[in-house]
């Protein structure tokens, strides 16, 4: 990606030096914990990934884990700041064309664990968006895992992850997320299906931003392929097989690799929100 190495975004909140969440007497839940949660989800047919991000305070034994100005991560902080601002500028323009105002989301950087309006979560649940406070939460260590553990390297792969979470912000602002939750309550048997549809739409919305980024020359050759590879790497079926389990569609919450690639590509190729009708 051709990105400008400017300062930090005004919509970025750095909590990496705040109290972290240590689980189990000081041991932290790492990426191995993600595999365990996936296995439990398959066995008990419950979404343990979501439960891990449920309510409650930070665990006892929390302690400061890093300074705010960690030089080892500053380049990445500047990069996510650029993506955050670029994507939100695009959405502000899109909303303005429709005669409405875009309320920007905030990006929160953390380590190990974090508290939000949606409850507390460990890094093992990965990046997430909380509609309660309209904030995206990311542990920058996830991008290392995206490369080394999931085989999806590249800066646009990382940008896709953030753009996907901002897609959830769009869904919250326009009311799609609330409508989906209501539909889940009316018909719990469709809970997973509806969750998948919401996630695939967020993938498509991430692609819409990618379309505009390409039009302005931000993307370089190979960037689109990086994003598509990242979408494929974190499909439910691939994650379950990686955890040694059979892919079970009844337990899907985000969609298969093929579905995630398809919807991300739709947004990337069209640049239109109306191309993202997954419901």
The alpha carbon of residue 254 and the mean position of all alpha carbons in its chain are separated, in whole angstroms, by 11
pLDDT at 68 over 60: yes
Residue with tokens 């309006």: 117
Q: What is the pLDDT of residues 150-174, one digit of tens each?
A: 888 889 999 999 999 999 999 999 9
* Extents of the domains making up the chain: 12-275
Answer whether residue 55 shows pLDDT above 60. no
Please write the tens of the pLDDT for every residue from 73-88. 899 999 999 999 999 9
pLDDT number for residue 129 = 96
| Environment class of 27 (CB within 10 Å of its CB; exposed 0-12, middle 13-18, buried 19+) | exposed
**CA 50, 53, 56, 61 torsion-angle sign:** positive
Task: Give the residue among 202, 29, 20, 16 at the shortest CA–CA distance from 105.
Answer: 202
* pLDDT at residue 106 greater than cutoff 50: yes
Residues in the chain: 279
Give the per-residue pLDDT at 230.
Answer: 87
Q: Is 260 helix (H, G, I), strand (E, B) or coil?
A: helix
Residues 181, 118, 10, 76, Cα dihedral to 10°? -100
Q: Are strands 135-138 and 128-130 parallel, antiparallel or unpaired?
A: antiparallel
Crossing angle (nearest 10°) for helices 155-174 and 191-215: 120
Q: Whole-angstrom distance between the N-terminal and C-terminal Cα of the chain?
A: 32
């Amino acid at each position: 990606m051709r990105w400008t190495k400017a300062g930090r975004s005004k919509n970025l909140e750095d909590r990496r030096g705040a109290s972290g969440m240590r689980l189990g007497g000081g041991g932290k839940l790492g990426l191995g914990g993600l595999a365990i949660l996936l296995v439990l989800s398959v066995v008990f047919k419950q979404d343990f990934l979501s439960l891990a991000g449920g309510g409650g305070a930070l665990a006892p034994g929390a302690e400061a884990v890093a300074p705010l100005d960690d030089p080892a991560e500053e380049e990445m902080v500047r990069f996510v700041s650029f993506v955050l601002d670029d994507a939100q500028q695009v959405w502000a323009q899109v909303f303005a064309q429709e005669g409405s105002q875009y309320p920007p989301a905030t990006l929160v950087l953390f380590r190990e664990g974090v508290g939000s309006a949606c409850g507390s979560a460990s890094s093992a649940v990965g990046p997430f968006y909380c509609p309660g406070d309209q904030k995206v939460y990311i542990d920058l260590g996830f991008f290392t895992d995206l490369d080394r553990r999931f085989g999806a390297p590249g800066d646009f792969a990382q940008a896709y992850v953030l753009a996907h979470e901002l897609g959830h912000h769009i869904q919250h602002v326009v009311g799609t997320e609330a409508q989906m939750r209501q539909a889940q309550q009316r018909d719990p048997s469709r809970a997973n299906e509806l969750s998948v549809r919401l996630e695939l739409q967020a993938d498509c919305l991430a692609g819409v931003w990618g379309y505009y980024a390409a039009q302005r020359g931000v993307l370089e050759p190979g960037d689109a392929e990086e994003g598509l590879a990242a979408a494929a790497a974190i499909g439910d079926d691939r994650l379950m097989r990686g955890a040694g389990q059979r892919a079970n569609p009844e337990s899907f919450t985000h969609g298969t690799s093929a579905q995630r690639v398809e919807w991300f590509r739709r947004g990337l190729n069209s640049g239109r929100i109306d191309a993202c009708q997954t419901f």
